Amino acid sequence: MKISYRKYSLHVYNYFFYIAYASYLPFISYWFAEDGLSTQQIGLIFSIGPLVGFLVQPLWGMLIDYYGMAKWLLLISTGITPWVVVAYRFAGHHFWLYLVISVVLAVFSSATLPVIDAVTVRHAKHNSLSYGAIRVVGSISFGLAVAVFGQMYEHFGISTVFAAYILTMTLVCLLTFSIPGDRKGRPKPEMAGKGAPRSGMTAGMITLLKEPKFVWFLIPVFLAAIGPQMNNAFYSVYISHFGGEASAKIGLLYTAASLTEIPVFLFSGYIIRKFGYVKILTAVSLAGALRWYVLSLEPSFEILMANQMLSGLTYALFLSAGVNYAYDNSSDRAKTTAHSLFVVVYTNVAGIVASNVGGWVVERGGYSLLFQGAAVMSLLGAAGFASLGRVKRREGRLKV
């Protein structure tokens, strides 16, 4: 029984982590708006996470790879982040305090998801399990829990989000003790004195950025990611301006997206093999443009639900195809770097731009203009992906 739990401990951990995630992430921008912040201020707050994450995540990676501190990092991040979030309650009307809290929060929270993914991948390989099968457990728990939290916040008030986040994340923190620990130790002797990890990563990044086809891939990734990142920052506020049971609606809409992405994640390998990266990335970007245009029309709740189902399909396919394209179009020594560049552009770079520009656009032109702009960016991204096959490599295979 003990051995069985150890084997499936990451299933349990992901299940409860994404419940905690569901209690907080979809609703916090709505709370910011209810607390009196403007969309421009909300956008600035949301841009801090990607910026700080871009700067500190390499440090977390080093601590995991060379000092075996994954478990300790999770204990620290899951133990501290909910209490940092509660500090928002006491910021009052001092916006500079919101910014300080957001920086501190980003430092600790930026470790959580990457570390969980790293631990899950390692655990899956050591136990002959599938990473996707473990990750889907989190998607299921998120999709089911977010609707429940939405109903709860509608009944007790949106400020209940802080108590729910403390309780659920404290449970996750306690569950961290059940995760198999890392082997502690110094870097291998053969690595010492060479500077290999740092120089190798830098060399791989420089080589990839010199490769026209890979750069041409990152450009439409950035363009197509603007819409999803704007959506992450402002979707809850957008739903709230329709009025009437906003928290419950937010929960149901996020549930629709989360549950729809599950079968796509499970069958993404087959879909990619059948249609290829370029066709999928182009089609998903076109579908994204349709999605943003529909949101610009401020449709009925029923159409919003259908739109969220389209969101689940496009998000899962875009990430699966994008990650695999980066992996397959880089040399053996640069695959991790290629994956990191894709994630940085999709999440960090696009997130910083989308959050700041998006808040400014909403202040001056409203949500219709915001989502129309996102639709245009997605169309440009689709055009970039469609032309990706025409960009020739300078030297055939990459050499790093």
**pLDDT tens sequence across 319-344:** 888 877 887 777 766 666 777 788 88
As a CATH number, domain 198-391 is 1.20.1250.20
Quick one: pLDDT at residue 185? 46
Q: Which CATH superfamily is domain 1-179 in?
A: MFS general substrate transporter like domains (1.20.1250.20)
Under 8 Å CB-to-CB from 156, ≥6 apart: which residues? none
Res 275 pLDDT > 70: yes
**Closest Cα to residue 41, out of 94, 82, 109?**
94
Residue in the structure block whose two tokens are 């989502």? 371
Quick one: pLDDT at residue 264? 82
Mean pLDDT of the chain: 84
**pLDDT tens sequence across 39-58:** 999 999 999 988 988 888 76
Measured CA to CA, the distance from residue 252 to residue 151 in angstroms comes to 9
End-to-end Cα distance, the chain = 47
Is residue 113 very low, low, confident or very high in pLDDT (cuts 50, 70, 90)? confident
What phi and psi values does residue 352 have, to the nearest 5 degrees? Answer: -60, -50
Measured CA to CA, the distance from residue 71 to residue 75 in angstroms comes to 6
Quick one: pLDDT at residue 215? 85
**pLDDT tens sequence across 360-399:** 999 999 999 999 999 999 999 999 999 886 654 444 443 3
How far is CA 311 from each of CA 139, 215, 261, 270, 385, rounded to the nearest angstrom?
14, 26, 8, 20, 19
Interaxial angle between packed helices 196-210 and 212-240, expressed in degrees from 0 to 180 and rounded to the nearest 10: 90
Is residue 119 very low, low, confident or very high in pLDDT (cuts 50, 70, 90)? confident
**pLDDT tens sequence across 306-317:** 999 998 888 888
Domains 1-179 and 198-391 share a fold: yes
How far is CA 38 from each of CA 106, 352, 358, rounded to the nearest angstrom?
21, 17, 12
**Closest Cα to residue 289, out of 211, 194, 371?**
371
How far is CA 258 from each of CA 137, 139, 200, 216, 269, rounded to the nearest angstrom?
11, 6, 37, 30, 19
Token digits of residue 54: 């871009």
Within its chain, how far is the Cα of 7 from the centroid?
A: 26
Query: What's the whole-model pTM score?
Result: 0.82
Of the listed ranges 171-185, 287-301, 362-376, the least confidently predicted one is 171-185
Within its chain, how far is the Cα of 387 from the centroid?
A: 27
Q: Which residue has the higher pLDDT, 65 or 233?
A: 233
Quick one: pLDDT at residue 234? 93
Res 88 pLDDT > 70: yes
Measured CA to CA, the distance from residue 240 to residue 227 in angstroms comes to 19
Quick one: pLDDT at residue 400? 36
Res 1 pLDDT > 60: no
Q: Which residue has the higher pLDDT, 388 or 296?
A: 296
What is the arithmetic mean of pLDDT over 110-138?
79
Quick one: pLDDT at residue 201? 53
Quick one: pLDDT at residue 65? 63
Is residue 195 very low, low, confident or very high in pLDDT (cuts 50, 70, 90)? very low
Measured CA to CA, the distance from residue 121 to residue 336 in angstroms comes to 13
Residue ranges of E strands in 140-242: none
Is residue 148 very low, low, confident or very high in pLDDT (cuts 50, 70, 90)? very high
Is residue 61 very low, low, confident or very high in pLDDT (cuts 50, 70, 90)? low
How many CB atoms are closer than 10 A to CB 256?
Answer: 21
Residue in the structure block whose two tokens are 């001056």? 364
Measured CA to CA, the distance from residue 348 to residue 330 in angstroms comes to 21
49 contacts 229 by C-beta, under 8 angstroms: no
Residue 244 Rama label (left phi>0; alpha psi -120 to 50; beta): left
Helix (H) or strand (E) holding 114: helix 112-126
**Closest Cα to residue 380, out of 289, 262, 271, 269?**
289
Measured CA to CA, the distance from residue 185 to residue 164 in angstroms comes to 37
Spell out the domain ranges in the chain. Answer: 1-179, 198-391
**pLDDT tens sequence across 198-239:** 445 556 667 777 777 888 899 999 999 999 999 999 999 999
**pLDDT tens sequence across 20-43:** 999 999 999 999 999 999 999 999
Interaxial angle between packed helices 131-156 and 246-275, expressed in degrees from 0 to 180 and rounded to the nearest 10: 160
